[in-house]
Amino acid sequence: GAVVSQHPSWVICKSGTSVKIECRSLDFQATTMFWYRQFPKQSLMLMATSNEGSKATYEQGVEKDKFLINHASLTLSTLTVTSAHPEDSSFYICSASVRGGNTEAFFGQGTRLTVV
């Protein structure tokens, strides 16, 4: 199947700083990428849908000014957690749909963010 690469796999940052997470589709073009957040022992929660070249669509309750999403090309989307706080510590996962394909989505390996 198609490969989605997420970087970094884990990151520790200080409170108040910003962290950028990258999501790349390595061998296919992804018109749409999705960002999820997962807290311990919980399911994945959709944060936002990102379409190449346009503004991301955020789910209710997700602050767009705090979680900045950029999808500048068909193979790269980034999520920046701005002014991170300990409560932002979570597992962040991206996924991508194959351009022109069906809804089978491919997921990155996830990024473990710890804010101290």
Partner 1 sequence: DAKTTQPTSMDCAEGRAANLPCNHSTISGNEYVYWYRQIHSQGPQYIIHGLKNNETNEMASLIITEDRKSSTLILPHATLRDTAVYYCIALANQAGTALIFGKGTTLSVSS
Question: Considering only residues 75-94, where is the footprint of partner 1 by CB under 8 A?
Answer: 91, 93
Nearest-approach distance from CB 26 to partner 1, in angstroms: 14
Q: Phi, psi (5° rounding) for residue 67?
A: -110, 95
Interface mask (CB under 8 A) for partner 1, residues 38-57, using x and -? -----xxxx--x-x------
Among 7, 20, 29, 31, binds partner 1 (CB under 8 A): 31
Q: Which is nearer to partner 1, 15 or 109 (CB)?
A: 109
Q: Phi, psi (5° rounding) for residue 97?
A: -100, 140
Q: Are strands 10-13 and 111-115 parallel, antiparallel or unpaired?
A: parallel
Residue 114's SS3 state is: strand
